[in-house]
Structure 1
Amino acid sequence: MEKRIINNYEEFEALLGQVIGVSDYVQITQEQIDKFADATLDYQWIHTDPERAAKESPFKTTIAHGYLSLSMLTYLWYNVVDVRNVKMIVNYGIESLRFQQPVKVNDKIRATVSLNDIKNLRGIAKIQVKIVVDIEGERKPAYDCLVNFLYHFE
């Protein structure tokens, strides 16, 4: 998919209430899950022990940490947009996060992004995007949330 190019506040504002774009799918591998466990010291067997998960987990396989799938938001967002003429971008917060379904090892996820709100804070664009992360082949999404960014345009 081609990225949507946004050059300034006005181009963001014109997208209010619309779908900005849909990212490509990205696969979540056991290697990623294991590295995330190393980074966060969260070694719960449901994430890191494929043999035990196959026997004891209701999912019959390992699942990604919820926060691993959440940490993919930045990658998925930048797969959708190319915001130009920016001095600085600040991740400002996440609201209304709701995990709905686990991401199993080797699942592919993607994001559908809509512009929910935009405000001009003395020359800084505060944008709020609704992001729904779905799993290829699944009816329910992995999660959805409202993400706030501050864009300091040049």
Structure 2
Amino acid sequence: MNELTRQSEPLISEWITVDQPFVDRFADAILDHQFIHVEPERAKAEGPYGGTIAHGFLSLSLLTHFTHSALPLPAAGVVEVNYGFDKIRFLAPVPVGSRLRGRFTLVAEEPKGCGKLRRFAVEVEVEGMQKPAVIAEWLVLVVEGEN
């Protein structure tokens, strides 16, 4: 399927495990080495979550990865560009070792400049937890490239 249309059922990605080396690499990339993310023993002893947790921005940034298994590939000559977010909420911590997946629902599509703007309701789910780690309204600009 090359074209995405407004759907009532969400499209769901495959699971990914967020382990400590992954969190450590993310901490290095964004220069955020707060102990609740990168010091397992200290986080267990002093932190509020009983161990290390993933950065909220790590969970959010995985949305791009989740699209690869949840959403159809764009048609040839079409480029999808991250246009931003209208709303982001971090609702639950992600304990290191958790499995995450993305849930995408296309809620609107409208003309925008040289393309169209898609609005997705997205969630980052944590396996075994009722509350999602992240909910957001994600905007994606779809542009046809020059042939």
Is residue 2:7 matched to residue 1:36? no
So what's the TM-score if we normalise by structure 2?
0.91
What whole-Å deviation, never above 9, does each CA across 1:4-55 have from its counterpart, x for those lacking one?
x32xxxx33xx32423511111110111111111111101000000010111
Q: Which runs of 5+ in 2 are unaligned?
A: none
Is residue 2:123 matched to residue 1:132? yes
User: Post-superposition shift, 1:86?
Assistant: 3.4
User: Post-superposition shift, 1:87?
Assistant: 3.6
**Percent identity between the aligned chains?**
33
Runs of 4+ in 1 over 3 A off after TM superposition: none
- Residue aligned with 1:115, SS: strand
Match of 2:83 in 1: 92
Choose the corresponding residue for 2:136, options 120, 124, 145.
145
Q: Distance in 1 between matches of 2:106 and 2:135?
A: 14
Match of 1:22 in 2: 12
More strand by share: 1
Answer whether contact 1:113 1:131 (CA < 8 A) is retained.
yes
Instruction: Look up the equivalent residue of 2:140 and give its one-letter code.
Output: F
User: Post-superposition shift, 1:122?
Assistant: 4.9
What whole-Å deviation, never above 9, does each CA across 1:129-148 have from its counterpart, x for those lacking one?
11111100001110110111
Instruction: Look up the equivalent residue of 1:35 and give its one-letter code.
Output: R
Kindly tell me the number of residue pairs found equivalent between the two proteins.
144
